[in-house]
Amino acid sequence: MALDFTDPRQVARAIQYTDVNPDLTRGGVVEHLETCAKYEFDAAMIAPYWVPLAKDVLAGTGVKVASTLNFPMANDTPGMRLAALRALIETGVDEFDFPPHPGLLLGGDEALYASDVEDVVRLAHAEGVVVKVMLEFGFLPTDDLKVRATRIAHEAGVDWVKQSSGWGKGGLEATEHDVRLLAANIEPPCRVKVSGKVNTLEKMQRLFEAGAELVGTSSGPAIVDGLEGDPDAY
């Protein structure tokens, strides 16, 4: 069903309101979570440390708790990544976003790149946790590499593909071109999420028209209220 961008409630339900800054305090987290409940966002995206608190605050609201894995550097060993995922699952997290190791794909170690994604998906799905992969297109200099990363993620069984985290060198701004590339190289039930400078309703609508179905952004309230979020945020 197409999203009705004139309906603030529908818009909010397609947003994962994000604050994973390391300097966020307990009070700041609670404020973020209360905003998520007020707007009825799809999920609160917060750092792993705060997931237990988020599960308590958001209980009964219908707002999911999402977090991150292997972020932001994307270079944990496979064992480190899976150990962290087991710990994250124990917190009760509903879903998480993670970046595969871009250096493996860039260096031609495609089998290792793919197995890392497959291992994460296998463990998460065994526990009923949704997996969203951040492909960090900012590290991938060609569309051919972006296509390959997308197809590997899709073949591994991820639930959502995302062009970037919106953070750092790998986290470039979301574009309609990249959304179309993602959408063209997956099949249902895999879907497209976007992040990176999505700070207005108009931009969100253009990205959804290109094939996105979910957005992660720190500008959630501004988008729903028809305003412009911080252009320097993620």
Residues with catalytic roles: 97, 162, 193
Residue 69, both tokens: 């894995």
Residue 75, both tokens: 């270079």
The answer to whether residues 88 and 105 touch, using CB atoms and an 8 Å cutoff, is no
Rg (CA), the chain: 16
Collect all residues with Cβ–Cβ distance below 8 Å to 224 and sequence separation of at least 6. 8, 11, 12, 15, 39, 201
- Residue 67: beta bridge partners? 96
Helix extents (H) in 23-101? 26-39, 51-57, 78-90
Cis previous bond, 72, omega within 30: yes
DSSP letters spanning 110-147 = HHHHHHHHHHHHHHHHHTT-EEEEE--GGG--SHHHHH
Q: Per DSSP, which regions of 87-169 are E strands?
A: 95-98, 130-134, 160-162
